[in-house]
Amino acid sequence: MKLNHLKFNRVDFSYSPTEDNLLNSLEMHFAPGWTGIIGPNGIGKSTIAKLATGFLSPTKGQITGLTPTNAFYCTQENDQIPDDAEEFLYCADSKSGELCSLLKIENNWLDIWDHLSYGEKKRLQVGIALWKEHDILVLDEPTNHLDLFAKNLLLHSLKYHKGIGILISHDRDFLNALCSACIFMKTGSVSYRIGNYDSAIIQEELEETRKAKDYDIKRKKYKTASENTKQLAEKMNKHKDHLSKRHIDKHDHDKKAKIDLARISGKDKIGARKLKQLQLKTERIKLETDRYYFQKQKIGGFQFQGEKLLRDTILLAPAQTFFLNTNRSLNLPDLILTPDDKIGITGDNGAGKTSLVLKLYKQLSLSHHQILYIPQETHSQDWNQVESKIQLLSSKKRGELFSIVDRLGSDPNRIFHSHSPSSGEKRKLMFGLGLLENPSIIIMDEPTNHLDLPSIHCLEKALNEFEGCLLVVSHDSSFVQNTTKTRWHIEMTDGISELVQR
C-alpha cells in the first residue's frame, strides 16, 4: 500500500544546541505527486530533505508518514559511488534494464567512475532511486551539471514515480514540467501553492503585493497611534504642572482652592487612564506590525574588480588530443586566450568540458592570486581551505568579504559559524574570496549550480562588468549568453569529442 501523506507537525530543528533553530514550528504537508520547494540559499531546504527521509530527526515536533525504509534521498553531492550501484547495474531484472535504457546508463560506469561527468553520475544516482521504488523520493538540485539531453531523460524517468516526490530546485523549467504544487520558503514564512512554478509564482507575487500593502497600512496605523500617545502624554504633563502648588504664592488661597477642587474632581485620574489605554493600544499595534511578515528583496550588486593583464596573450596551446578515459578522447585545435576574452564552454555531459578547463588552468603561467577558479563542487577539503583563508583575513578584508556575501542574499556570519552551510552559501563565500584577490582571469565550472535565482542575476551583472579574461562552463544557456562573447562547443561522436570555436 502506497503512502498517501507526509506531514511535518510544528517541527523545530537545529544542528547544534549552541546554534539558533534553522527551522521553527514548521508545518508542511506532502501528497502523492511532485511538490517543488523553492527558497534562497541557507533557508533550510536540504535540511527538510534530510528530515523527510529520516537522515535527521526533529529537535521538536514530529513527522508523520515516515518510516526508515520507505524514503530515498538523492543528495546534491554525487562524487561517491552510490549504495546498491553494483546490484542495480548487474542484476537481471527488467526494471533496472528499463531504467538503464531510459537514462542511457552504461554497464561499465563503475569501472570508469572517476572519469564520469557529474551529469552521468547524477543519472546513475537517480536510476537507483527509481529502481528502489520507495514511497518518498526526495531530489536535491537534480539538474545541477545536467545538459538539456540529460534533463529530458531525467524528467521522463521521474514521471514514472507514483509515490510522494519532493523536488528542491532553482531550475524553473524543470519545476514547471514536473510539479503540481510548490512550497515557497522565506525567512519567517512558508506558503503552499497549487500548480507548477509559473502558476505558483504568480500566486506568490500577488500575495506579496497584498502583504506589502497591509504592512504599510499597519505601519501608518502604528505611526498615528504613537503620535496620539505622545500628544496626550505632553498634555498630561502640562496638566500635572497646573495642579502643582510649588510655584504658587503661599498666601494665594484662591488659587490653592481651585487646584484642590480640580484634584477632587478626578480629571487628572481620568486623563491618566486614557493615556494608559492609548499606550497599551499603541504597543498592541506595534506587536502586530512586528509579527506581520514582510521582507523586501535584499539582493544588491557587486563588482569583480580585476587587474587586466598588459600582454597580448595569456595562453597559447597548440592543437592536441588527450584521453578523457579509456573510451573517449578530446581533440583540441590551436587555442589562444587573450586578457579580455569572454568564453563560454558548452557541450553534453561527458564531452570533456571540466577536463578541458582543468588542463588550461594548470597550463597558465600566472601567480595564484591572479586566477580565480571555482570548481563544479566544493568538497570537504576545498571547504576547509576556504575556512582557513577566511580565518587569516584582516578585519577590514573580512568585512569586505561579508559585505559581498550579504549583497548576494545570505547572512555571512551565519554561514561561517554554521555547522552545515548549504552548497550555495559555500559558493558565495568562494566568490567573495576571489573578489578580494582582484584576479586577472576567472574560470568558473557550472557557477549557477546551487545558487538561487536572484543571486544568479547578480552574478551575471558582475561578470558583465569584469574587464579581465573569463572562461565559463555552463549548461545554463541564458547565463552563457548573458556573460560571454565567444563559444567553445564540444561535440561528441562515437567516443571522440571535438572542440569547435564559434
Print burial letters for 426-437: b (CB count within 10 Å at least 16), e (below 16). bbbbbbbbbbbe
Q: Tell me if 306 is assigned to some domain.
A: no
**pLDDT above 80 for 267:** no
Q: Are residues 181 and 211 in the same domain?
A: no
C-alpha 146/C-alpha 155 separation (Å) is 11
Residues 227 and 254 in one domain: yes
Residues 145 and 183 in one domain: yes
Q: How confident is the model at residue 296 (pLDDT cuts 50, 70, 90)?
A: very low
Q: What CA–CA distance (Å, rounded) separates 223 from 156?
A: 55
Q: In this structure, is residue 123 part of a structural domain?
A: yes
Mean model confidence pLDDT for the chain: 83
Mean pLDDT of 463-486: 90
Q: Are residues 116 and 258 in the same domain?
A: no
294-308, 350-364, 465-479: which range is least confident on average? 294-308
Return the exposure string of 442-465: e unless at least 16 CB atoms fall within 10 Å of the residue's CB, then b: bbbbbbbbbbbebbbebbbebbee
How many angstroms separate the CA atoms of 327 and 99, rounded?
23
The reply to whether 62 and 112 lie within a common domain is: yes
**Half-sphere exposure in the Cβ direction for 89 (13 Å, CA):** 17
Q: pLDDT digits over 342-357, tens only?
A: 999 999 888 899 999 9
**What pLDDT shows up at residue 417?**
72
Position 300 in a domain: no
Q: How confident is the model at residue 212 (pLDDT cuts 50, 70, 90)?
A: confident
Q: Among residues 159, 188, 217, which one ends one of the domains?
A: 188
**What pLDDT band is residue 486 in, cutting at 50, 70 and 90?**
very high
The grid cell for 129 is 532511486
* Cα 43 to Cα 265: distance, rounded to the nearest angstrom: 60
10 and 135 share a domain?
yes
Phi/psi class of residue 19: alpha, beta or left (left: φ > 0; alpha: ψ in -120 to 50)?
beta
- In angstroms, the CA 271 to CA 231 distance is 12
- Ranking 118-132, 282-296, 352-366 by mean pLDDT, the lowest is 282-296
User: What average pLDDT does the segment 256-277 reach?
Assistant: 62
The pLDDT assigned to 297 comes to 45
Contacts with 103 (C-beta within 8 Å, 6 or more apart), sequence order: 123, 124, 126, 127, 153, 154, 157
- Name the most confidently modeled range: 74-78, 202-206, 315-319, 434-438: 315-319
- CATH number assigned to the domain comprising residue 486: 3.40.50.300
The span from the CA of 337 to the CA of 310, in Å, is 13
Distance in angstroms (rounded) separating the CA atoms of residues 51 and 61: 12
What domain count does the chain have? Answer: 3
Where is 399: in which H helix or E strand? helix 395-407
Residue 199 lies in a domain: no
Q: Please report whether residue 146 resides in a domain.
A: yes
Q: Tell me, yes or no, whether 197 lies in a domain.
A: no
> For the packed helices 94-102 and 148-158, what is the interaxial angle rounded to 10 degrees?
150
User: Could you tell me if 337 and 459 lie in one domain?
Assistant: yes
Percent of the chain as helix, strand, coil, to the nearest 5: 45, 20, 35
Same domain, 368 and 469: yes
Q: Which of 118-132, 162-176, 282-296, 327-341 has the lowest mean pLDDT?
A: 282-296
> Do the beta carbons of residue 462 and residue 304 sit within 8 Å?
yes
Q: Write the DSSP string, 58-124.
A: -SEEEEES--TTSEEEE-S---SPPTTHHHHHH---HHHHHHHHHTT--TTTTTTGGGS-HHHHHHH
The structure's pTM equals 0.67
Percentage, residues of the chain above pLDDT 90? 30
Of the residues 188, 221, 239, the one at which a domain ends: 188
Task: Confirm if 134 and 71 have CB atoms less than 8 A apart.
Answer: yes
Residue closest to 27 by CA, chosen among 69, 75, 64, 68: 64
Q: What is the mean pLDDT of residues 41-60?
A: 89
Which range, 310-319, 424-433, 447-456, has the best average confidence (pLDDT)?
310-319
What's the average model confidence in pLDDT over 92-108?
89
327 lies in the same domain as 437:
yes
Mean pLDDT value of segment 250-265: 61
Q: Is residue 296 part of a domain?
A: no
Residue 342 confidence (pLDDT):
96
Last residue of a domain, one of 154, 188, 222: 188
The reply to whether 358 and 484 lie within a common domain is: yes
Q: Which residue has the cell 539558533?
A: 20
pLDDT value at 167 more than 50 = yes
- Whether 198 is in a domain gets the answer no
Same domain, 268 and 354: no
Q: Does residue 100 share a domain with residue 150?
A: yes
The residue count of the chain comes to 502
pLDDT at 359 over 70: yes
What is the pLDDT, as a whole number, of residue 348? 87
Contact 111, 46 (CB under 8 A): no
pLDDT surpasses 70 at 306: no
Q: For residue 388, what are the domain limits?
A: 315-501
What cell numbers appear for 342 in the block?
Answer: 569572454
* Residue that wins the pLDDT comparison between 250 and 43: 43
**d(Cα 106, Cα 124) in Å, to the nearest integer?**
9
